[in-house]
Amino acid sequence: MTSNPESRLLRRATAVIAVQVAAAVAATAVLVSVLAFWLTIRAEHLAEERTVRVQTLAAGADLTGTEGVVLVRRAPDGVVTASGGTPPAVLRTDVTRLRPGRGNATIGGRHFEAYAADRADGSRTVGLLDVTAREESGERLVGSMLIAGLIGIVAAASIGAVLGRQAVRPLARALSLQRRFVADASHELRTPLAVLHTRAELLQRRLNRNADAERIRADVAELVADTHVLGEVVEDLLLSAELSHRPAGGVTFDAADLARELAASVEPYASAQHVTLRTDIAAGPMEVTGVRSSLRRALAALVDNALAHVSAGGTVTVAVDRADGRVRLTVIDDGVGLDPAQAAHLLARFARGEHHADRPGRRFGLGLALVQEVLDAHGGQLRIDGSPGKGARVTMILPAATV
């Protein structure tokens, strides 16, 4: 899919949100982890220091009654004794030379929490508690925390990306609606402007031929009516957003009059394309309830689509009839036709048929999609029939107004 500045902006906003969420989660996780680790290590260290101190100060001359603490005693005469189970490396080291009070010692590759106490009789007792296992466990814990932190950052970034997409979704929808409005406006204003241009050219020719004033007045009246249609199109485009969220409502009017009015307005444009535009109105009431300008827009889109697929010399018919409590407005052409299997595809925005008549101007394929939107808002249906090379028939089916 082709990239555009808007999509790049949305992707950048999503990435920024993901990075910010990941950074915030990572910073919080690091702060909590460091604080928890420091408090845990601090508590263990204080407990070890207290154990060594208490056991050292409470040890008698026989060095008994210890709990995991190795005791070494140097008598006043210099004789060194040790408690049972003292590692040989400790015996080979003169730990009695440690300074009084708390300290640390590394003996034979092991780490010890140490405490040296001097006695009144001139002896010194040193308590040693092996803290190697605790330090190795702490190192493993730090490594695990680093790995967990990296995993947490990746997870936070993923969550941030999801949150970022959700956060920018309203902006993406707003941008989409903006592009959609521009496309709709371009499509809907194209045909009325073409009609106005054709009528103005006819008026100019008659003026150049000194045509009768009555005919000129009629053309000017039609020109004014067409400019009013342009105003209705603009107002209807502004109303289309509301139609997608609530029933159309509106007023009751005669669909047959609407068809005649539209045919009269578009007929000069059709004649300029050398296409015959006619109406086929059945007898009887053809009243429907809705937004008249919206339904006129929808019918104009069908007529414009038919004209685009009919070659010079062809015919487009706007028919109106009633059956089973519904009013049907049908646009029939004898143009290039269509494959019924493509009907659903043609209702998509920007979809185009495989063949169309050679007409000036670019076509955007929005007509049938807009018609479907209007009918959905009015509780109606759109039916597409035809066959390749034998023309097409597109019908707007609307509930008849209740008396």
Amino acid identity of residue 192, one-letter, is: P
Q: How far is CA 282 from CA 5, 47, 143, 261, 290, in A?
A: 52, 101, 86, 16, 21
User: Does residue 9 carry a pLDDT above 60?
Assistant: yes
Average pLDDT over residues 378-387: 89
Contact yes or no for 380/302 (Cβ under 8 A): no
User: What is the CA 267 to chain-centroid distance, rounded?
Assistant: 45
DSSP sequence for 53-96: HHHHHH--TT--S-SS-EEEEE-TTS-EEE-TT--HHHHTS-GG
Average pLDDT over residues 361-388: 75
Query: Among 28-32, 182-186, 263-267, which is the least confidently predicted range?
Result: 182-186
User: Does residue 257 carry a pLDDT above 70?
Assistant: yes
- pLDDT tier at 8 (50, 70, 90 boundaries)? confident
Q: What are the beta bridge partners of residue 392?
A: 333, 386
pLDDT in tens, 111-134: 888 888 888 888 888 888 888 888
Of these ranges, 48-62, 120-134, 251-265, 343-357, the one predicted with the greatest mean pLDDT is 251-265
